[in-house]
Amino acid sequence: MYENIRTRFAPSPTGRLHIGNARTAILNWLFARHSGGRLILRIEDTDRQRSTKESEEAIIEDLKWLGIDWDEGPDCGGDFGPYRQSERLDIYSRYAEKLREMGRAYPCYCKPEELEERRRERLKRKETIIYDGRCRELTESAKKKLEAEGRRPVLRFKVEEKEVSFEDRIKGKISFLSENIGDFVIMRQNGMPMYNFSCVVDDHLMRVSHVIRGDDHVSNTPRQVLLYRALGWDPPVFAHVPMILGKDGARLSKRWGAVSVAQYRNLGYLPDALFNFLSLLSWSSESGDEIISKDRLIKEFDFDRISASASIFDQQKLDWMNGIYIRRLSIEEFTDMVYSVLKSSYDSISKKEEVEPIARMLHNKVERLSQISEIAKIFFQKNPIPENDEAFSILKSSDSQRVLEAFLRAVEDMDKIDRERFQKVMNQIKKDTEISGKSLWMPVRVALTGSMHGPDLPQIAEFLGLKKCREFISRATGQKRVQDG
């Protein structure tokens, strides 16, 4: 058991929670709960133009939907707040001034267009793109002259070390040459802190022991390590988890469809299924199991089982996993979900009990809740239309017409139909027509539903009732007379 473990998840409120960030939040949560530590939620909202209160609230909603809770944060407080960076500006200013007094930071008056011109020049000479340090040793008189011109400086950190190394919990030892880093900005002209600086100050003051994040932050880490050392602080343990890629090997993006937790929620994925799936991107159980409860994930979490290689987002695997979680729901739980989905689409539904037969038919058929509406429409249509040319051709064949006419004869004297009676009808038709298999069942399915696929046909017939079965079959035979039964 670890002692004094403190992890953090620190999203920027500039949009909904991305799948990659959700995976990072899950790993931080699992490690904190496994070790008996604490998880901090910190909102990094120093980008005033893009950060919104709405995004912050949406991220918190997405995290809670996934089942992730935290011990300290903007909504629940804690001993090391405030937990929004926009409320900590005086703290950053104080430590920035400390670095300046120590001679480890200096004002830089270079204009953006000047920096861009030098960047192009270095590119032409095939040199590393870093700041050339020309404002490092400005005299006080030179600074006053530049300020008189109306120039407002940024504050740069002075990189003096030749090399910076750190031990990554997943990737091992990583080293960077300082000549590839250069003096970097820690405070903007408007007094807002840069990411690397505010992150270091917050992680230290909030006593974060482990920083678990995506490996797109590896390049930020040497700058942060330099800041820790300059301020006389011990860096936390860094653990950079590999990126999540699409099947084409590229980073997840909108071209892959859904990329946010909210989109997957709207598509009908269950929170436990998505949590389980994301937890296994880069991490695996020693047992090899893939369907794993949160309690087991907490118990088995181990950094040594996190791969250093990129993980692939397999949509088919997520669908399969979500289907398993749906089938694990009780029929009562699933009926509630079916009712919630269908009541807004069909005015005829007024009670939950009315959709229970549908729920029983669909419980083993859907992999996403969003499929419910598409499949369930067969139960509410007034005139089933074959879904495609193949379905149309099935109804037109002479054997199909024989089956449908035989069906009408078989139910002529019946007063109701249920699964058992429907099966007897189909057996009688098979005997009378000597037609069997797909040629027997498919024309009846298409006539009753318009579709070539769907739930168990006897259950469909029972739900529709004898009157609708007669009506739909009669239409499919081309008969004008509709038996009311």
User: Tell me: the pLDDT tens digits for 120-138?
Assistant: 998 888 888 899 999 999 9
- Cα(first)–Cα(last) distance of the chain, in Å? 72
pLDDT band with cut points at 50, 70 and 90 for residue 254: low
Q: Are residues 134 and 92 in the same domain?
A: yes
**Which is more confident, 44 or 251?**
44
CA separation for the pair 176, 160 (Å, rounded): 13
pLDDT, mean over the chain: 93
Q: What is the DSSP string of 225-237?
A: HHHHHHTT----E
Q: How far is CA 119 from CA 111, 114, 187, in A?
A: 12, 9, 21
Residue 8, strand partner residues = 40
Residue where a domain terminates, one of 321, 353, 375: 375
Is 345 a residue whose pLDDT tops 90? no
Q: Are residues 228 and 126 in the same domain?
A: yes
Mean pLDDT (whole number) for 376-385: 90
Q: Are residues 156 and 226 in the same domain?
A: yes
Q: Are residues 115 and 214 in the same domain?
A: yes
- Give the domain CATH number at 423: 1.10.10.350
What's the confidence (pLDDT) of residue 213? 96
pLDDT band with cut points at 50, 70 and 90 for residue 481: very low
By three-state DSSP, how is residue 249 classified? coil
Residue where a domain terminates, one of 312, 344, 365: 312
Mean pLDDT (whole number) for 249-276: 85
Q: Is residue 237 domain-resident?
A: yes
Q: Are residues 123 and 234 in the same domain?
A: yes
> What type of residue sits at position 111?
K
1: nearest Cα among 25, 38, 34: 34
Q: Are residues 223 and 341 in the same domain?
A: no
Is 483 a residue whose pLDDT tops 60? no
Q: Is residue 406 domain-resident?
A: yes
**Which is more confident, 257 or 329?**
329
Q: Is residue 384 domain-resident?
A: no
Q: Are residues 227 and 250 in the same domain?
A: no
Choose, from 162, 254, 351, 480, the residue flagged as catalytic: 254
Active-site residue, 424 included: no
- Give the domain CATH number at 257: 3.40.50.620
What's the confidence (pLDDT) of residue 331? 96
What's the confidence (pLDDT) of residue 479? 52
**Which residues lie closer than 8 Å to 219 by C-beta, 6 or more apart?**
none
Q: What is the largest CA-CA distance in the chain?
A: 108
Is 106 a residue whose pLDDT tops 90? yes
Does 455 sit behind a cis peptide bond, omega within 30 degrees of 0 on the bond before it? no
Is 484 a residue whose pLDDT tops 90? no
Q: Is residue 351 domain-resident?
A: yes
CA separation for the pair 430, 433 (Å, rounded): 5
At 405, list the tokens.
């006419």
Does an H or E element contain 31, and which? helix 19-35
Q: Are residues 186 and 306 in the same domain?
A: no
The dihedral region occupied by 377, where left means phi > 0, alpha psi between -120 and 50, and beta the remainder, is alpha
Q: Are residues 78 and 93 in the same domain?
A: no
pLDDT band with cut points at 50, 70 and 90 for residue 257: low
Q: What is the pLDDT of residues 393-415, one digit of tens each?
A: 999 999 999 999 999 999 999 99
Number of domains composing the chain: 4
What's the confidence (pLDDT) of residue 255? 56
93: nearest Cα among 199, 194, 191: 191
Mean pLDDT (whole number) for 238-266: 83
Q: Is residue 451 domain-resident?
A: yes
**Which residues lie closer than 8 Å to 97 by C-beta, 6 or more apart?**
none
Q: Is residue 75 domain-resident?
A: yes
Is 480 a residue whose pLDDT tops 50? no
Q: Are residues 223 and 156 in the same domain?
A: yes
Q: Are residues 248 and 201 in the same domain?
A: no
Q: What is the pLDDT of residues 16-50, one digit of tens each?
A: 999 999 999 999 999 999 999 999 999 999 998 89
Q: Is residue 382 domain-resident?
A: no
* Predicted model pTM: 0.90
Q: Are the C-beta atoms of 351 and 364 separated by less than 8 Å?
A: no
CA separation for the pair 182, 158 (Å, rounded): 8
CA separation for the pair 267, 274 (Å, rounded): 12
Is 256 a residue whose pLDDT tops 60? no
Q: Is residue 484 domain-resident?
A: no
Range of the structural domain that residue 285 is part of: 6-85+244-312
Q: Are residues 102 and 77 in the same domain?
A: no
Is 91 a residue whose pLDDT tops 70? yes
Residue where a domain terminates, one of 312, 345, 366: 312
Mean pLDDT (whole number) for 282-289: 93
Mean pLDDT (whole number) for 110-119: 92
